[in-house]
């Protein structure tokens, strides 16, 4: 996302949040009345049941209030249905879908890394480790030269500032390394908004963080829209970290894949919520099949938790269907959202289940593929 707008909108965020709290429900939304959940507690409450706290909800759910989508509190999904554990990882990487967090590093409530109060927007509530533990498998990170190092940051007038900085990138990369070390069968994708000008700066921090040992090499990335290697083979060779940069020069200089040589991507921000699935400026049109990966963005220009809850609840499925057609009958491999756990029920987790179901067996839910595969083989 263009960073020049990210500093000046916190007051607008406050206004929208205050307004939504005061009015309870926006004029354009219809609240869903919760069904009574009498007698539902102690981990027995199911999806969309009313709840009082997280302990009421069954495994894989948590208790959420979201005034723009429904009244009261209800149990909503908080984790994915793992397509690899349900089925297998024998297909090419580009035949699966992955939950993606936009501005994964911009975490609400995180202490300012510079000691100076932060004046910028946030897009997530969980730490990067928590995101990964809940099934996020692609992270969008904005990197800048700052204070003699490389930081995760929003910018003002093209530069990272004390009041827009989050933390040194090394800290987040070490979180990712710890997760990958503890979860040897998992594949993680990093999509970098790369503003680092220090020569070989990115290569050095990936080496120092310990992530280089997982690096999927540029030389193995398919050209001309061909299939990627199988996830099984990527895991077996320990080449399970895929990194893309927005800086075209880094592909030649540091061997880091230029993102839009390998994927097509929809417009980000509110302009991408209109349903026409147009590509962002740097990307080829979605129908260009010489790029084998598809990224669909679905978040507003101004990240507000309750508004994101509504976005993640309404319109997302329809958008994915439209983008399937725009991409030449290809389902999205990555779906990127703000506040990924906020929804009126299934949210982005349900959306990713649908994507994997459609790609793996032509079903609307990946869990249905288990039944399909059983009858196919038996």
Q: What does the pLDDT read at residue 25? A: 32
Q: Give which of 211, 87, 190 is closest to 142, Cα–Cα.
A: 190
What 108-111 contacts at long range (C-beta under 8 Å, 24+ apart), as own/partner pairs, is: 108/305, 110/166, 110/167
Q: What is the mean pLDDT of residues 27-34?
A: 39
Q: Is the dihedral of CA 334, 339, 340, 345 positive or negative?
A: negative
Q: What does the pLDDT read at residue 274? A: 87
DSSP 49: -
The model's pTM is 0.90
Residues 222-234: pLDDT tens digits?
Answer: 999 999 999 999 9
Lowest model confidence (mean pLDDT) among 64-68, 127-131, 133-137, 263-267 = 64-68
Work out the pLDDT band at 275, boundaries 50, 70, 90. confident
53: pLDDT strictly greater than 70: yes
368: pLDDT strictly greater than 70: yes
Q: What does the pLDDT read at residue 287? A: 97
Query: Is 173 within 8 Å of 143 (Cβ atoms)?
Result: no
Q: What is the mean pLDDT of residues 182-193?
A: 98
Q: Where are the alpha helices (DSSP H) in 65-111?
A: 83-86
- DSSP 3-state percent helix, strand, coil across the chain (nearest 5): 35, 20, 45
Domains of the chain: 3-17+85-341 (3.20.20.190)
Q: What is the mean pLDDT of residues 270-296?
A: 95
Distance separating alpha carbons of residues 44 and 93, to the nearest angstrom: 36
Q: Give which of 128, 241, 134, 127 is closest to 184, Cα–Cα.
A: 241
């Amino acid at each position: 996302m263009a960073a020049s707008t990210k500093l000046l909108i916190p007051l607008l965020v406050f206004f929208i949040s205050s307004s939504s709290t005061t009015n309870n429900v926006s004029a354009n939304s219809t609240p869903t009345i919760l069904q009574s959940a009498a007698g539902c507690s102690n981990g027995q409450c199911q999806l969309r049941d009313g709840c009082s706290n997280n302990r009421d909800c069954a495994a894989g759910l948590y208790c959420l209030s979201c005034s723009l989508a429904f009244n009261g509190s209800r149990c909503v999904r908080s984790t994915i249905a793992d397509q690899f554990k349900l089925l297998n990882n024998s297909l090419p990487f580009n035949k699966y879908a992955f939950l993606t967090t936009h501005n994964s590093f911009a975490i609400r409530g995180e202490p300012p890394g510079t000691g100076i109060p932060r004046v910028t927007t946030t897009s997530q509530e969980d730490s990067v480790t928590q995101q990964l533990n809940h099934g996020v498998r692609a992270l969008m990170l904005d990197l800048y030269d700052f204070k003699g190092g490389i930081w995760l940051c929003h910018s003002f007038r093209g530069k990272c500032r004390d009041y827009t900085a989050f933390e040194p990138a090394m800290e987040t990369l070490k979180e990712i390394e710890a997760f990958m070390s503890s979860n040897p069968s998992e594949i993680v994708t990093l999509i970098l908004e790369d503003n680092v000008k220090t020569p070989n700066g990115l290569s050095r921090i990936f080496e120092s963080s310990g992530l280089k040992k997982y690096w999927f090499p540029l030389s193995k990335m398919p050209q001309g829209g061909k299939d990627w290697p199988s996830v099984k083979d990527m895991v077996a060779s320990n080449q399970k970290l895929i990194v893309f940069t927005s800086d075209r020069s880094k592909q030649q200089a540091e061997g880091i894949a230029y993102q839009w040589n390998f994927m097509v991507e929809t417009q980000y921000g509110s302009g991408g919520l209109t349903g026409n699935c147009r590509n962002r400026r740097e990307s080829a049109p979605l129908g260009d099949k010489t790029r084998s990966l598809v990224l669909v963005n679905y978040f507003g220009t101004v990240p507000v938790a309750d508004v994101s809850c509504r976005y993640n609840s309404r319109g997302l499925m329809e958008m994915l269907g439209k983008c399937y057609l725009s991409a030449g009958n290809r389902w999205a491999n990555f779906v990127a959202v703000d506040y990924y756990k906020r929804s009126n029920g299934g949210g982005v987790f349900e959306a990713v289940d649908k994507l994997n179901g459609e790609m793996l067996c032509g079903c609307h839910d990946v869990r249905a593929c288990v039944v399909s595969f059983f009858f196919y083989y038996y």
